Amino acid sequence: MTALNPDYVFVFILAAFLGLQLIKKVSPLLHSPLMSLTNAIAAVVIVGAIHITGEEGATPLAKTLGTIAVFCATVNLVSGFMITDRMLKMFKRKEG
C-alpha cells in the first residue's frame, strides 16, 4: 500500500474549499442548488485534471485522459455559468 502524496491532499482540500465557497455565494432563489453543486464539481475536476496532466511521471494515457477531462469540465463549468446568467436576465426589470 502506498502513502498519500501530500500534494494530492493539498489539492483535494483546496478544491473542496473553493467548491464550498462557490456554493455558498449563490442565492438559492436565483440558482438551483443542484446547478451550484455541478459547477463546483466541475471546478474540482478541472483542478485535479490539470494537476494530474502536468505531473512529471504521467503516462501518455493519463495525459490524454487529463486533457479530455479538463476540456469537458471546462465546457460544463462555462455553460453552467452561461445558464445562470441567462436565468438572472429573466428576472431583470425591463426599462422603457
Q: pLDDT for 1-39, tens place per residue? A: 456 677 878 887 888 888 778 777 766 665 565 666 677
For residues 50 and 78, what is the distance between their CA atoms, to the nearest angstrom? 17
pTM: 0.58
Q: What is the pLDDT of residue 71?
A: 92
Side-chain-side CA neighbours of residue 32 (13 Å) = 6
Please answer whether residues 84 and 35 qualify as being in contact, where contact means their C-beta atoms are separated by less than 8 angstroms. yes
Report the pLDDT value the prediction gives residue 26, as an integer from 0 to 100: 66
Phi, psi of 47 (to 5 degrees): -60, -45
Q: Quote the mean pLDDT of the chain.
A: 78
